[in-house]
Homo-oligomer: A and B are copies of this chain.
């Protein structure tokens, strides 16, 4: 039975319905966004497709974050906004999806075609008759854009947009003028499947790369694999797991790759956070004679926060669409066919590496008196033991993104954080998106997490967010309440922007302080009908909570305010980070004093120490 027959679809449908049917075919069942002047006829059409639902977010930026979080579990997120005001409000979220390789379809309701042609001045324009400005802006953070105008080809354009967003895992922008929503399309086109996989045939370059990699794999006696985010995003977890199982190579994950591998796997050695990794991790990575970064997300070696200065010889960086080996780049080699070809050609008997028994990553369980106040170090270790198989663990840019790296994920736990783009406030929106995705998995008894079938049927959604970050997007909690979704929301209350306090070395600056809220009272304000709220101050409070079997069940929304000192952040990490930052800052300091002919006053208004003329700042880049 064809899709149109099974679903009893008339011969002609509108282009808007066509889009939504295509999404339904992909099991993309929740659409995020807000109604607005030019997108309401479009949203109306969504209600005609059984099984699709309109999330109804509280603002557009939150909606973009939610679509991003949803996409990380299901492979594609869809965001609907209105022309100008709506799409611009969302753009920071879309840029995040672009930076972090997240498949997103951004559909924007636009003014009618003829209004645009005649340059009539409409609401939500800049008042200068320029209707293309928002499209130009969108093009900067999308890998493909289209405005639906062509009545004959529009269905093909829609197919192409969805395919690109899915395959490239980047945002795609579709503008639909409000008068084009009803363009009739033959529904039979829905019976032609979309092309969602990359071409699985490797080109000649790809075949060369396979041979090159196999050589290195066989020869290496100290290999290291680092699993990065694109392994998850481009659906290559199964291939990666098989490769590790067959080679027995030791494996680390980056913060973006955390969750890709079962952390109880004997090959798993920990989290590699570049220059701020623990010395033992750095040693293994730096002295590898062959380093393979699988699903590499970074376009360059060095980053500020995670300074990946790979010192090892023979570095192979496997990006989603190209390979870099030492200094050579091999373009147009795609991750999935490359890995499959590697596996087909791999002959384990030629491997020289002898697996070493290394001690398992142990999460210390420290006993502290019940009345002691909480510290992040202890909290993260403690919570690590509470995680369960299948948990979706979401962390915010800030202390929690660091804390989480010292926890061990159980099997099939999935981490979500915006480690690269780092937009503060992202996590609450992503939490909403994940909750919808999990609800759909459980409803459909289909736990196909973006091409990686999970065995666990339970997926608790657990959010860790600082008080400062929470304030930026907090109204999205109301959407969670409205849909009666049941996450764990841990508000780590350390009285403001603590990571910044540390980073910027000015703990006293008043701009890190924020208004103290009665966070738990939000459950009343938002009219939650069945909420569990807890304020956790002491070690005893925390232990009691985590021991409580009822608490372990995600049958109601649970909001937990964890009181932490304002200058307390995960210590090991930040000590090193501080040091690195300082070095980095000095290295990058521009010797602008070259141009100053007079000596600056010594009144303290200028920095005391600046490079002298001709002095080259030290640098390790």
A interface residue numbers (CB < 8 A to B):
10-14, 17, 35-37, 40-41, 43-44, 47-48, 54, 56, 58-59, 61, 84-85, 88-89, 91-92, 95-96, 98-100, 111-115, 118-129, 133, 136-137, 140-141, 151-152, 177, 179-180, 182-184, 297-305, 420-425, 471-475, 478-479, 481-482, 497, 500, 503-504, 506, 509-519, 521-522, 524-527, 585, 587-590, 592, 595-596, 598, 600-601, 603, 605-607, 610, 621
Beta-carbon contact of B126 and A302 below 8 Å: no
Q: Which of B121, B184, B472, B525 contacts A525 (CB 8 A)?
A: B525
Beta-carbon contact of A85 and B92 below 8 Å: yes
Q: How far is the CA of A525 from the CA of B588 in the complex (A)?
A: 43
Q: How far is the CB of A493 from chain B (nearest CB, A)?
A: 13
Beta-carbon contact of B300 and A121 below 8 Å: yes
Chain B residues whose C-beta falls within 8 Å of the C-beta of A44 in the assembled complex = 506, 509
Q: How far is the CB of A189 from chain B (nearest CB, A)?
A: 14
Residue of B whose beta carbon sits closest to that of A13: B605
A420-B123 contact, Cβ under 8 Å, with A84-B95, A497-B35, A605-B10: yes
Residue of B whose beta carbon sits closest to that of A472: B59
Q: How far is the CB of A232 from chain B (nearest CB, A)?
A: 16
Residue of B whose beta carbon sits closest to that of A111: B304
Q: How far is the CA of A423 from the CA of B37 in the complex (A)?
A: 11
Q: Which of B424, B475, B527, B610 contacts A474 (CB 8 A)?
A: B475
Beta-carbon contact of B521 and A524 below 8 Å: yes
Q: Which of B299, B506, B513, B527 contacts A517 (CB 8 A)?
A: B527
Q: How far is the CB of A30 from chain B (nearest CB, A)?
A: 13
Beta-carbon contact of A35 and B300 below 8 Å: no
A420-B127 contact, Cβ under 8 Å, with A91-B91, A114-B588, A515-B478: yes
Beta-carbon contact of B11 and A601 below 8 Å: yes
A184-B524 contact, Cβ under 8 Å, with A121-B300, A127-B99: no
Beta-carbon contact of B525 and A124 below 8 Å: no
Beta-carbon contact of B151 and A126 below 8 Å: no
Q: Which of B13, B40, B151 contacts A596 (CB 8 A)?
A: B151
Q: How far is the CA of A425 from the CA of B85 in the complex (A)?
A: 10
Q: How far is the CB of A574 from chain B (nearest CB, A)?
A: 15
Q: How far is the CA of A306 from the CA of B40 in the complex (A)?
A: 20
Beta-carbon contact of A123 and B517 below 8 Å: no
Beta-carbon contact of B35 and A511 below 8 Å: yes
A588-B115 contact, Cβ under 8 Å, with A44-B509, A59-B472, A606-B12: yes
Q: Which of B35, B497, B506 contacts A500 (CB 8 A)?
A: B35
Main secondary structure, interface of A, reads: loop
3 nearest CB pairs, A to B: A88-B92, A121-B300, A112-B588
Q: Which of B56, B133, B605 contacts A511 (CB 8 A)?
A: B56
Q: How far is the CA of A420 from the CA of B122 in the complex (A)?
A: 8
Residue of B whose beta carbon sits closest to that of A473: B59
Q: How far is the CA of A42 from the CA of B127 in the complex (A)?
A: 33
Beta-carbon contact of B511 and A43 below 8 Å: yes
Beta-carbon contact of B95 and A88 below 8 Å: yes
Beta-carbon contact of B124 and A133 below 8 Å: no
Q: How far is the CA of A132 from the CA of B475 in the complex (A)?
A: 32
Q: How far is the CB of A117 from chain B (nearest CB, A)?
A: 9
Beta-carbon contact of A600 and B127 below 8 Å: no
Chain B residues whose C-beta falls within 8 Å of the C-beta of A36 in the assembled complex = 424, 500
Beta-carbon contact of B606 and A299 below 8 Å: no
A184-B600 contact, Cβ under 8 Å, with A137-B140, A420-B127: yes
- 20 A-B contact pairs sorted by A residue (CB < 8 Å): A37-B304, A37-B503, A40-B511, A47-B510, A58-B472, A58-B514, A59-B61, A59-B425, A84-B421, A85-B424, A100-B127, A111-B304, A112-B588, A120-B300, A122-B304, A136-B140, A179-B592, A518-B525, A518-B526, A519-B525
Q: How far is the CA of A95 from the CA of B401 in the complex (A)?
A: 33
Of the candidates A112, A503, A515, the one having the most CB atoms from chain B within 10 angstroms of its own CB is A515
Beta-carbon contact of A179 and B588 below 8 Å: yes
Chain B residues whose C-beta falls within 8 Å of the C-beta of A140 in the assembled complex = 133, 136-137
List 19 extra interface pairs beyond A12-B606, A58-B514, A518-B527, CB under 8 A.
A12-B603, A35-B509, A37-B304, A44-B506, A58-B472, A59-B471, A113-B588, A113-B590, A114-B590, A122-B303, A126-B141, A137-B140, A179-B588, A182-B607, A184-B596, A472-B475, A482-B514, A517-B525, A519-B525
Beta-carbon contact of B515 and A525 below 8 Å: no
A302-B514 contact, Cβ under 8 Å, with A44-B506, A592-B180: no
Q: How far is the CB of A171 from chain B (nearest CB, A)?
A: 11
Q: How far is the CA of A98 from the CA of B59 in the complex (A)?
A: 21
Residue of B whose beta carbon sits closest to that of A587: B114
Beta-carbon contact of A524 and B515 below 8 Å: no
Q: How far is the CA of A138 from the CA of B40 in the complex (A)?
A: 28
Chain B residues whose C-beta falls within 8 Å of the C-beta of A85 in the assembled complex = 92, 95-96, 421-424
Residue of B whose beta carbon sits closest to that of A11: B601
Beta-carbon contact of B521 and A525 below 8 Å: yes
